[in-house]
Structure 1
Amino acid sequence: MNHLEGKVIVITGASSGIGAAAAKALAARGAKVVAAARGQEDLDRLVADIRQSGGTALAKIIDVAEAQDTQALADLAVDTYGTIDVLVNNAGLMLFSYWKDRALDDWNRMIDVNIRGYLNAIHAVLPVMLASGSGHILNMDSVAGHQVGDGAGVYSATKFFVQAVTESMRRELGVREGIKASTISPGVINTGWADKVTDPVGRQAAQELNEIAITPESVADAVVYALDQPADVTVNDLIISPTRQNW
């Protein structure tokens, strides 16, 4: 049975990587995708690809760190499709640096996207889900939310935050309100993240780590699995990592 048919699914960070792969996979299962990101050209290409394959999708340019942007995203989904069934909180930033580098700008960028961005999106969709007494919030986490690696202290802290928030939501929103909360924790995925690291030493470490990475489509399969469940089943956390990743 396909539990995704007709579901309205909002995906942040959807212009590339895991977000784009998940958007395509979910649309292929009959979901109505509302894709959000900062890059107009990539979003337009994604929506065109989905529609060309017979799927349903629209796009919204947003900065998840801005609450008015995530609210506009939620409003667009409701105005167009009447509701929001699922939020895939996927927009994220992974920047490596060591504490001695004092990379304050990178730390703040990760806090803005990985923490503030997730909270803004949750804040925007919750009223719709609470009113319907159903919904699913899937927070993209990381294996770094389970253990801390070298040069990833702040990134891991943001992902431990995601773990804590999702567990709180599971107990409060899931048990009391019928709104599911899940995480997916990928290992090293080739999404182009290594090239975004600004610290030179951190960039080298990231590029070396990326050599064992698996594809975003592997994680998209996990997203489909987690979301394509009956109303009384919640997949709490899935860890997806390369076979040769040793942490």
Structure 2
Amino acid sequence: MAALQDKRIVVTGASRGLGEAMAVGYAREGARLVLAARSRDDLERVRALCADAGAEVHVCVTDVAEEDQVQSLVRTAVAELGGIDVFVANAGTSYPGLTDKRYTTLDTYDADIVERVMRVNAIGMWSCMKAAIPVLDEGASFIAIGSETGRIARAGSGIYAVSKACVDVLVTIAAGETAERGVRVNCLTPGGMVDTHLFGPDKMPEHLKQLPMGYSEPGVIVPAAVWLASDESRAVNGAQLSGRHFNATGAAQVLAELAGDTGAAGSTAVAGSV
């Protein structure tokens, strides 16, 4: 039997990049899906890919920056699938200055850029938690897609790093609040990506490709995303897990690392962040 046979999974930001890769990966493992993003045309394209893999797939046009739309997404998923076993909060955004260096220090930002990035990456994550977690039953999994950028913040890291640091904090708090219910909340990071469409039509600029962390294709996140959605990871809660580290070490080693590194709220702490 496939690892996610009949698991009911919602993926936001599913129209391209990481979200597309995870959606197709879930479809191949037998999941039933609701895919969300702002672009219906792109969602329909990914829906076709998932259907070709044999999955039942529904789409729901959603902007996670709008709380009412996130609430509607959860209601749609419950109606179409009969409930939610896994919610993957993947949708995120960046800004033009990440590539053209317009925003070099915190005092150079325009307020509208700050508001949009925080509304999507931080408030949007909170909205997904607020809407989805109350309908998740024991054994369910909430997966927040984060970024190491917020953990290695330094001069010039910018508002994007701030927004992703917020994701880590939200996961830590939510994991502690849901533990007694048997609902797990974890943060999964892909590592540097060649192209998650955050960079616009020209993809990643050359000066960013030269950074020392190295860059990968979106598919690098799929094995860990499948594992966190599966029953094999039922004991993992509050973890900050690197997809690249998971691929390099395997599930057994990751579990061993997490078992030896517990956080203050009884949830597991950082494993293999890069």
Common fold: TM-score over 0.5? yes
Deviation at 1:2, TM superposition (A): 4.6
Q: Aligned partners of 1:41 and 1:150: how far apart in 2?
A: 39
Q: Structure 2 counterpart of 1:56, which letter?
A: E
Equivalent runs, 1:11-50 vs 2, <5 Å: 11-50=11-50
Deviation at 1:184, TM superposition (A): 0.9
Deviation at 1:45, TM superposition (A): 0.5
| Structure 1 residues 135 and 170, CA gap change in structure 2 (3 angstroms) | same
Q: Aligned partners of 1:221 and 1:230: how far apart in 2?
A: 12
- Secondary structure in structure 1 of the residue aligned to 2:168: helix
How many percent identity over aligned positions? 28
Number of residue pairs matched by the alignment? 235
What is the match of residue 70 of structure 2?
70
What is the match of residue 4 of structure 1?
4
Q: Structure 2 counterpart of 1:160, which letter?
A: A
Consecutive unaligned residues of structure 1, counting only runs of 5 or more, are 198-202
- Secondary structure in structure 2 of the residue aligned to 1:169: helix
What is the match of residue 137 of structure 1?
142
Q: Aligned partners of 1:103 and 1:185: how far apart in 2?
A: 27
What is the match of residue 162 of structure 2?
157
- Secondary structure in structure 1 of the residue aligned to 2:232: coil
What is the match of residue 179 of structure 1?
183
1:119-165 Cα distance to aligned partner (Å, 9 max, x none): 11111112211xx3341110011011211145322111111111111
1:202-227 Cα distance to aligned partner (Å, 9 max, x none): x99x5421465311011122211222
What is the match of residue 82 of structure 2?
82
Between 1 and 2, higher relative CO (CA 8 Å, sep ≥ 6) is seen in 1
Q: Aligned partners of 2:233 and 2:198: how far apart in 1?
A: 34
Deviation at 1:42, TM superposition (A): 0.7
What is the match of residue 118 of structure 2?
111
1:213 paired residue among 212, 215, 219: 215
Q: Aligned partners of 1:72 and 1:44: how far apart in 2?
A: 19
**TM-score, with normalisation over the residues of structure 1?**
0.86
Q: Aligned partners of 2:154 and 2:87: how far apart in 1?
A: 28
Q: Is the 8 A contact 2:190 2:218 kept in 1?
A: no
**TM-score, with normalisation over the residues of structure 2?**
0.78
Deviation at 1:25, TM superposition (A): 0.1
- The RMSD of aligned alpha carbons is 2.4
- Secondary structure in structure 2 of the residue aligned to 1:105: helix
Q: Structure 2 counterpart of 1:155, which letter?
A: Y
Q: Is the 8 A contact 2:126 2:170 kept in 1?
A: no
Would you say 1:91 and 2:96 are equivalent positions?
no
